[in-house]
């Protein structure tokens, strides 16, 4: 990964952020900048320098592998570094700084500048190596879907499917699940973020599968709905509406598209079919080192927020009918020069198992 380029890109933004240096303690941001996967650490960045500060557990490894100089953390390390770099204004991530840590920062002989998600804009647009990592994660995610789809037979439980999926991915070398899998049978599929339980699959039930894997730190995310036996007319109707809404949104995924309008495109179609109130969440989100990251794909986005080449996002409209069932269809796509590349290479035809 081009870690030094990422650090240089961050350094270029410090002036507009109004600080002499930026302190980063968000572990995902540290991973993004250095490749070091830590449980505790700091990165101190100025316009010309960058330092990784870790405790003794990580010092030797980071000193060997980090793209920037590594310092051993003690009570005075940060203050000494700030003094040697002549920092007057220190920026910090207000969204990832606990109150006690903020109190400690206030004791330093510098002025503080609170910043919201200072690396979000950089991480939103993926470089070529990140995009390949996301392709690999999506491929493994799809393999997992294929594997559990073959296990879907009457009598099996939601939890059994979830357990089998985790075992499959771990055997394939995954770091972890991207999130707890959503395996929802029957009326449970109307609960957007359902947790699998002991419910057994029966004929006539819809099966909603929303799954994602963490592979080499990058994430996949996909949702499909299958049917155990012939689905009822209501489920066939909403499946077609959701699929059409997704197709309309995917057709507009290209650089320059207003993010709010993307959400509105899918939402307007669902509303026109009489199910607006049953589409209860945003259209999608960014995917990368985190399963949910910027940009959020929602109608509340500012007019200035537009899709850019290199963004990786999900498109996932849904309709949920309490007591009956729900349909959500989700793909992860990369915004390309002239449109988008769909990383979720699995059929979306209505499928009966």
List, for residues 154-185, the tens digit of each pLDDT value: 999 999 999 999 999 999 999 899 999 999 99
| Model confidence band, residue 1 (pLDDT cutoffs 50, 70, 90) | confident
| Distance of alpha carbon 104 from alpha carbon 102, whole angstroms | 5
312 pLDDT more than 90: yes
List, for residues 205-264, the tens digit of each pLDDT value: 999 999 999 999 999 999 999 999 999 999 999 999 999 999 999 999 999 999 999 999
Q: Which two tokens stand for residue 86?
A: 């002549």
Cα-based distances in Å from 192 to 125, 179, 182 = 28, 14, 9
Under CATH, what is the fold of the domain 3-122?
Answer: Creatine Amidinohydrolase; Chain A, domain 1 (3.40.350)
pLDDT at 75: 82
Nearest CA among 244, 224, 257 for reference residue 331? 224
User: 125-352 maps to which CATH number?
Assistant: 3.90.230.10
| Distance of alpha carbon 248 from alpha carbon 244, whole angstroms | 6
**Stretch 342-351: mean pLDDT, rounded?**
96
| Distance of alpha carbon 270 from alpha carbon 263, whole angstroms | 11
On the 0-12 / 13-18 / 19+ scale of CB atoms within 10 A, 1 is middle
Check whether the bond before 295 is cis (ω within 30° of 0).
yes
List, for residues 278-300, the tens digit of each pLDDT value: 999 999 999 999 999 999 999 99
pTM value > 0.75:
yes
| Distance of alpha carbon 309 from alpha carbon 254, whole angstroms | 7
**Mean pLDDT, all residues of the chain:** 97
Backbone phi and psi for residue 66, each to the nearest 5 degrees, phi listed first: -70, 140
213-215/176-177 β-pairing = antiparallel
347 pLDDT more than 90: yes
Please give the torsion angle defined by the CA atoms of residues 166, 215, 298 and 335, in that order, rounded to the nearest 10 degrees. Answer: -140
Check whether the bond before 150 is cis (ω within 30° of 0).
no
pLDDT at 103: 94
67: which residues sit within 8 A by CB, 6+ positions away? 3, 4, 7, 34, 35
Question: Domain-by-domain residue ranges, the chain?
Answer: 3-122, 125-352
Place of tokens 């990369």: 334
pLDDT at 270: 99
CB–CB of 38/53 below 8 Å? no
């Amino acid at each position: 990964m081009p870690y030094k380029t990422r650090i240089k890109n961050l350094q270029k933004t410090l002036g507009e952020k109004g600080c002499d240096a930026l302190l980063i303690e968000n572990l995902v941001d540290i991973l993004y900048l250095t490749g070091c996967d830590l449980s505790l650490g700091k990165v101190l960045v100025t316009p010309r320098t960058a330092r990784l500060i870790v405790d003794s557990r990580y010092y030797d490894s980071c000193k060997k592998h980090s793209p920037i100089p590594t310092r051993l953390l003690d009570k005075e390390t940060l203050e000494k570094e700030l003094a040697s770099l002549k920092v007057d204004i220190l920026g910090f991530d207000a969204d990832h700084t606990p109150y006690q840590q903020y109190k400690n920062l206030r004791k330093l002989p510098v002025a503080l500048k609170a910043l919201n998600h200072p690396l979000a804009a950089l991480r939103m647009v993926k470089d070529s190596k990140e995009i390949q990592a996301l392709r690999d994660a999506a491929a493994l995610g799809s393999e997992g879907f294929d594997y559990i789809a073959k296990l879907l037979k009457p009598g099996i439980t939601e939890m059994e499917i979830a357990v089998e999926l985790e075992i499959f991915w771990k055997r394939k070398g995954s770091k972890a699940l991207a999130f707890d899998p959503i395996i929802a049978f029957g009326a449970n599929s109307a609960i957007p973020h359902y947790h699998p339980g002991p419910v057994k699959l029966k004929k006539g039930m819809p099966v909603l599968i929303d799954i994602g894997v963490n592979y080499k730190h990058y994430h996949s995310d996909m949702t499909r709905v299958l049917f155990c036996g012939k689905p009822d007319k209501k489920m066939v109707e909403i499946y077609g509406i959701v699929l059409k809404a997704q197709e309309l949104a995917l057709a507009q995924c290209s650089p320059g598209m207003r993010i709010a309008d993307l959400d509105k495109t899918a939402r307007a179609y669902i509303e026109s079919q009489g199910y607006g109130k049953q589409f209860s969440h945003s259209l999608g989100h960014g995917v990368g080192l985190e399963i949910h990251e910027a940009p959020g794909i929602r109608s509340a986005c500012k007019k200035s927020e537009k899709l850019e080449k290199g963004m990786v996002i999900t498109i996932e409209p849904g309709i949920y009918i309490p007591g009956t069932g729900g349909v959500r269809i989700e793909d992860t796509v990369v915004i390309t020069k002239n449109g988008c590349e769909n990383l979720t290479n699995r059929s979306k035809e209505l499928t009966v198992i």
